[in-house]
Amino acid sequence: MITSTSNQQMKNLVQLMKKSKERKKQGVFVVEGPKMFFEAPKDWVQSVYVSESFEKAPEHNERLASYRYEVVSDSVFRSISDTQTPQGVLAVVKMPVYPFPALFQGEKTQLLVLESIQDPGNLGTMIRTGEGAGVTGIIMNHTTVDLFNPKTIRSTMGSIYRIPFYIAEDLTETIHEVKKQNVALYAAHLKGTKSYDEPDYTGACGFMIGNEGNGLSDEIADLADTYIRIPMEGRVESLNAAISATLLMYECNRQRRRKA
């Protein structure tokens, strides 16, 4: 049993949770809690750590039996956990890498293209909602918050394991490649003249969502085929980025269900 926070494995876990650079260097990220752990594809899981209490709980015995794991004292587990209420299990998981073509499914393609999203919760929510709405892939630029930040990972609620993604070094160039696949791109923009529920999204399409404070940059927005807007009542100027993305993705989902 690991009983000290100075244990090298514990030190490494803390570094992986805190530092994006370390995650990238090792090609792994940390997931916490039974849901995120048990949903992880088994061949992605590199190491598992459970608290004394978690191991002793009979409801976990059968599922834990197929894993090799290290037991950590409850006090050490509390000190390394990234959550206020530790759930007793942490796993180091291999980062998935998807080839760019994996994001496309012909006419069924539905993409989310993100520019410089800064809030981990927003990014995680978009990934989770994207799975629910049927997106085929998510593209983000390298200045978007780290996808493997523990807060982002928690917010995905497991969708991180199932949604193909691509991190673009040059978002402009990547969008040009998307357009070569005959994907119609719609930018959520305050200058939009069409309401978000007017266009036909039943063909291959993608939605472009910008930074929470500044929206899409002019350079990226200009690459869209159409500007769309979400009508606002009262004195509200815009919605949260994740909420905006949700409305667009589910409008696409609604149209496709109705056409099916």
Per-residue pLDDT at 61 = 86
DSSP at 145: P
Report the alpha-carbon distance of residue 59 to residue 128 in Å, rounded: 27
Tell me: domain 8-94, CATH 3.30.420.40, correct?
A: no
Task: Find out whether 78 and 85 touch, Cβ atoms under 8 Å.
Answer: no
Q: Looking at residue 239, what is its pLDDT?
A: 85
CA distance 109 to 181: 10
Give residues with Cβ within 8 angstroms of 59, minimum separation 6: none
Return per-residue pLDDT of the chain as tens, 260 residues: 999 999 999 999 999 999 999 999 999 999 999 999 999 999 999 999 999 999 999 998 889 999 999 999 999 999 999 888 899 999 999 999 999 999 999 999 999 999 999 999 999 999 999 999 999 999 999 999 999 999 999 999 999 999 999 999 999 999 999 999 999 999 988 888 899 999 999 999 999 999 998 999 999 999 999 999 999 899 987 789 999 999 999 999 999 999 98
How many angstroms separate the CA atoms of 40 and 90, rounded? 11
Distance of alpha carbon 227 from alpha carbon 235, whole angstroms: 21
Q: What does DSSP assign to residue 142?
A: T
**Residue-range domain boundaries for the chain:** 8-94, 100-259
The CATH number that domain 100-259 falls under is 3.40.1280.10
Task: Give DSSP secondary structure letters for 90-137.
Answer: EEEEEPP---GGGG--GGG-EEEEESS---HHHHHHHHHHHHHHT-SE
* Rounded-to-integer distance, Cα 208 and Cα 147, Å: 17
Query: What is the three-class DSSP state of 229?
Result: strand
| C-beta separation of 40 from 161 below 8 A | yes
Q: Which of 118, 120, 163, 159 is nearest to 141 (CA)?
A: 118
Assess contact for 103 and 136: CB atoms under 8 A.
Answer: yes
